[in-house]
Amino acid sequence: MKKSILKILLNIFFVILCIVILLPLFWIILNSLKTNQELFVNSLAMPKKLQFINYVKAWEMGLYKYFGNSILVSSVSLVFILALSSFLAYGLTRFNTKGSAVILIFVLGGMALSEQVALVPLYKILKAIHIYDTYFAVILPYIAFRIPFTVFLMRSFFISIPTEPPDIHKNNYSHY
């Protein structure tokens, strides 16, 4: 009885949570299909006529450039984050060198650095090396701020993989 009541309450909680998450998304999509006048008069009302032309206008006004920039920056950043983090995490788990613990602490210490705190020094560095207002000015900080957490996750995974192959001589398949 207690389990069924708990299950019902949990389901009600998740339904409410879904509504809280999906309602603003629905509101944004609804408002994107209105004219400017309808939007400013009552943003909670249903549109009189669906204005799908708003999406076409936005695309023609340059949305495709922003979309393309996001795809480019995200994909380049992702490739470098995964490559660098996997090499570093694998090296830290498989090669027991003298300074590997110090390197791990140093890298994981990067998770403690807030991106907002680093904005002003980052701006000055990017201006000094003359890459401000380029793709690299966005990609490099993405890589730098994502590597610590990615190394943390990948290192946990690499630790779970056995270092030695299984002993094939323990299994006796001679009865086949």
Instruction: State the chain's mean pLDDT as an integer.
Output: 90
Within this chain, do residues 150 and 75 fall inside the same structural domain, yes or no?
yes
Q: Which tens digits make up the pLDDT trace of 23-79?
A: 999 999 999 999 999 989 988 889 989 999 999 999 999 999 999 999 999 999 999
169 is a domain residue: no
* CB-CB contact of 77 with 141 (8 Å): no
pTM, two decimals, is 0.71
Within this chain, do residues 38 and 64 fall inside the same structural domain, yes or no?
no
Among 20, 36, 52, give the residue marking a domain's end: 52
Phi, psi of 27 (to 5 degrees): -65, -40
Among 52, 70, 86, give the residue marking a domain's end: 52
133 is a domain residue: yes
Which domain range does residue 121 map to?
60-161
CA distance 73 to 81: 12
Within this chain, do residues 43 and 95 fall inside the same structural domain, yes or no?
no
Within this chain, do residues 41 and 64 fall inside the same structural domain, yes or no?
no
Read off the tokens for 124: 């000055």
Within this chain, do residues 78 and 104 fall inside the same structural domain, yes or no?
yes
